[in-house]
Amino acid sequence: MNTPNGPIRFALLGYGRVAPTHKNAIQALEQEAKIVAICDSNPEALKRGTQATEAAGFISLEEMLKSDEIDVVSICTPSGLHAEHGKQVARAGKHVLVEKPMDVSTEAAQSLIDCCKENGVELFCVFQNRLNTTIKLLKSAIDAGRFGKIYAINSTVIWKREQSYYDTAPWRGTKAQDGGAYLNQGIHFVDAMRHLGGEIIDVKPMIATLARDIESEDTGSALFRYESGALGNIFVTMLGRKDEEGSLTILGEKGRVTIGGSAMNKIEIWDFDDQNESQDTLAQNADYHTQSVYGFGHQFYYQQVAAYLNKKGPQPTSGPDGIKSLSLIRKIYGV
């Protein structure tokens, strides 16, 4: 393991669509983290990664895992390979950071949790939206009791994924490797609904493939019942005219908040019976502009991971927490 208080050494496994976001997040933490290796079985993708980072390049995961210069491997491969790759990393004695979802099935995700525990390594699961300014502020209002009893939580996701998006790789839109609108994109909003409202005990779903030539769904709606008694609803579609809405509304007996924008990045309604000067002032300035629906939470997440491994901060979102959001998605799929 790395020396205490030194920069945590990361390797990126897979250099596809989401990997540059991870790369940028790590490179922004100059004193806390650094990229020491890139691995991708595609030579062109590997070249892009090594040129962008000046890190060592590996075609083979097995060869990369022989290196003693790696503390954490960030897994950015297709979702259906996350658990398989994560277990290889864990058996090599390195910490595992996995992009959402942990895998496409709860059984595979649980096997990854078990493997990491058996090998004495940490398992970090990325849900970066929890760390966005708008969501953090909303969570603080909930924790302060400003809503009173929460009645309902609603989320709407209207994004655009053309057929060309799915055609870029044969695994996209498949049940075995990717999933559809909920498992790939909507999981961020399902996780936010859990993070803010608590555990969900009942799910009533309806999903469909209306326009895209894929195995999984491109549109769906699901009703939730929370452990608290509150009701929830989440509508997700990839058939929008653009990434036009990623919103979340909480309605309680003493307040209502709606966070909108394309990715929960704008506070549209912030209305409470009581006054909280610090929170209300922050709400006036919490909006942020993002050109990507990923937002900026990855940097904050990597910062948390680095602090935790250097014994300077609490544990970031881990496997046992991440699998709960995956389990909800599986219930939406009726399995």
Residue 179: pLDDT band (50, 70, 90) is very high
The answer to whether position 38 is within a domain reads yes
| Residue that is written with structure tokens 């493997």 in the block | 115
CB contact at 8 A, 136 and 283: no
Residue 3: pLDDT band (50, 70, 90) is very low
For residue 163, what is the domain's CATH number? 3.30.360.10
Q: What is the pLDDT of residues 166-178, one digit of tens each?
A: 999 999 999 999 9
The answer to whether position 115 is within a domain reads yes
| Residue that is written with structure tokens 């959402």 in the block | 100
- β-bridge pairing 150-158 and 245-252: antiparallel
- β-bridge pairing 72-75 and 123-125: unpaired
Same domain, 81 and 159: no
| Mean pLDDT, residues 191-202 | 98
pLDDT at position 333 over 50: yes
SS3 track for 209-269: CCCCCCCCCCEEEEEEEECCCCEEEEEEECECCCCCEEEEEEEECCEEEEEECCCCCEEEE
Residue 5: pLDDT band (50, 70, 90) is low
The answer to whether position 322 is within a domain reads no
Give the DSSP H/E element, type plus range, for residue 195.
Answer: helix 187-197
Same domain, 143 and 284: yes
Same domain, 196 and 284: yes
Give the DSSP letter string of 42-53: SHHHHHHHHHHH
The answer to whether position 325 is within a domain reads no
Q: What is the pLDDT of residues 24-41, one digit of tens each?
A: 999 999 899 999 999 999
Q: Write out the residue range of the structural domain in which residue 101 sits.
A: 8-128+298-317
| Residue that is written with structure tokens 């596809």 in the block | 16
Same domain, 146 and 282: yes
Query: Range with the lowest mean pLDDT among 1-10, 101-110, 264-273?
Result: 1-10
In angstroms, how far is CA 75 from the centroid of its own chain?
12
Same domain, 30 and 152: no
The answer to whether position 99 is within a domain reads yes
What pLDDT is attached to residue 332?
A: 97
Q: What is the pLDDT of residues 35-63, one digit of tens each?
A: 999 999 999 999 999 999 999 999 999 99
For residue 27, what is the domain's CATH number? 3.40.50.720
Residue 1: pLDDT band (50, 70, 90) is very low
**Which pair of tokens denotes residue 27?**
């490179």
- 308-316: Cβ within 8 A, 24+ apart: 308/122, 309/1, 309/2, 309/8, 309/71, 309/72, 309/95, 309/122, 310/4, 310/5, 310/6, 310/8, 310/32, 311/4, 312/5, 316/124
